[in-house]
Amino acid sequence: MRIGITCYPTYGGSGIVATELGLELADRGHDVHFITYANPIRLDPYIPRIHYHEVEVSNYPLFQYPPYCLALASRMAEVAENYKLDLLHVHYAIPHSMSAYMAKQMLAAKRRLPFVTTLHGTDITLVGMDPSYFGITKFSIEQSDGVTSISEDLRRHTVETFGVENEIRVLHNFVNCETYAPDPEKQGRSRFAGEGQKLLIHLSNFRPVKRVLDCIRILAEVRKHEDAKLLMVGDGPDRTQAEHLAAQLGVADHVEFLGKQNNVQRLIRIADVLLMPSEMESFGLAGLEAMACGVPVVGTRVGGVPELITPGVDGFLEAVGDVSGQSVRVLEIVENPDVQRAMATAARRTAETRFATERIIPMYEGYYAEVLGR
């Protein structure tokens, strides 16, 4: 198949899923065309069957807001025609789904260009619910030739919120279990943690929904019992506040802010526990990546996370904001080598048996075939 993929190319779960999907599809022999405003961070355009088409948005002085949505639609239609795309697959409804709808209409007189929209979370639970985007989000979901959701919880939420009646297929997020694999030697750990020191990690875009301040509070609690250090990977609006809080709680020397990183598996696999204290998480991709690396997650019981983590088996889930509950769970893991070993093994097994690329990617291929009527 010839597939056009559009996503946000910056650091963020939806862009990462879209990029990994494109790479896996190319590996399986499909031609994949990324149509985005910048090269997606995990994309190497040198890879065979991967193509990259940049969307340029001209900024005429009259425009207070450059019309990205229109530039994207034009580029989508152009690429679809020139490269004979079979379909478009857009990640994150706003505004990608609407641009795909316009591209489809632009080509309608000549040919059919179906599009699949994948819902990732905040496009529905936050942005899409804003009154200024509600109507257009509902419309673009209804007009999509196929809609997928990365969790059952998000599917249910979408149906309840928007009252849409078209089928939404749940295709969970996936992980490449070869790239994300445990390292029994935990190579490179000594660069970050001293002998006997416990190592916690958090990975996100540091938006308020991630509750990064809770990570700092959890570390401070854990340190009352164990010598522990926290790696904060990523960047975003709440980073400065988190740095201040670390100083205020007297743990600044034990928190390392590493900023945006590529090849995060190298960092995840050296840790003992991944913290995911989010307010909302429609899936929790960072959690899955950690599980594949054999690193148990201590997170919150929200959104689609319970579809990923079975508490007490391959991780722990507590209520949002329950710092003390999450700290106790971290200690339960790091102070009991048997618990840590059993959870690490179970986490890896969950990733392999339920969320490995080999299992999920064929579901996307099957879904495309359905949408194309093949």
Q: Is 29 left (phi over 0), alpha (psi -120 to 50) or beta?
A: left
Q: Is the peptide bond before 67 cis (omega within 30 degrees of 0)?
A: no
What single string gives the DSSP state of each residue in 49-84? TEEEEEPP----TT-SS--HHHHHHHHHHHHHHHTT
Choice between 175 and 228, CB closer to ligand GMT: 175
- Token couple for 253: 């020397």
- State how far the Cα of 147 lies from the Cα of 60, in Å rounded to an integer: 35
Task: Write down the least CB distance from residue 336 to ligand GMT, Å.
Answer: 29
Residue owning tokens 């059952």: 152
Contact 3, 87 (CB under 8 A): yes
Task: Write down the least CB distance from residue 22 to ligand GMT, Å.
Answer: 14
Task: Write down the least CB distance from residue 349 to ligand GMT, Å.
Answer: 20
- Can you name the residues that pair with 349 across neighbouring β-strands? none
Cα 185 vs. chain centroid, distance in angstroms? Answer: 27
Query: Of the listed pieces 38-46, 80-88, 114-122, 343-351, which binds ligand GMT according to CB under 6 A?
Result: 114-122
With binding defined as CB under 6 A, does residue 49 bind ligand GMT? no
- State how far the Cα of 275 lies from the Cα of 239, in Å rounded to an integer: 16
- State how far the Cα of 117 lies from the Cα of 77, in Å rounded to an integer: 16
Site residues (CB under 6 A) for ligand GMT, limited to 291-310: 303
Task: Write down the least CB distance from residue 93 to ligand GMT, Å.
Answer: 10
With binding defined as CB under 6 A, does residue 122 bind ligand GMT? yes
Contact 174, 353 (CB under 8 A): no
Task: Write down the least CB distance from residue 119 to ligand GMT, Å.
Answer: 9
Choice between 22 and 303, CB closer to ligand GMT: 303
319 exposed, middle or buried (CB, 10 Å; 0-12, 13-18, 19+)?
Answer: exposed
Q: Tell me the HSE value of 371 on the side-chain side, using a 13 A CA sphere.
A: 28
Site residues (CB under 6 A) for ligand GMT, limited to 147-166: 150
Site residues (CB under 6 A) for ligand GMT, limited to 71-110: 92
Site residues (CB under 6 A) for ligand GMT, limited to 208-237: 209
Q: Helix or strand or coil: residue 321?
A: coil
Tell which one of 205, 300, 326, 350 touches ligand GMT (CB under 6 A): 205
Site residues (CB under 6 A) for ligand GMT, limited to 250-289: 280-285
Task: Write down the least CB distance from residue 126 to ligand GMT, Å.
Answer: 7
Tell which one of 13, 22, 114, 299 touches ligand GMT (CB under 6 A): 13
With binding defined as CB under 6 A, does residue 19 bind ligand GMT? no
With binding defined as CB under 6 A, does residue 120 bind ligand GMT? yes
Task: Write down the least CB distance from residue 44 to ligand GMT, Å.
Answer: 20
Report the 10 Å Cβ neighbour count for 341. 11
Tell which one of 9, 12, 234, 294 touches ligand GMT (CB under 6 A): 12
| Residues making contact with ligand GMT (CB under 6 A) | 12-15, 17, 92, 120-122, 150, 173, 205, 207, 209, 280-285, 303
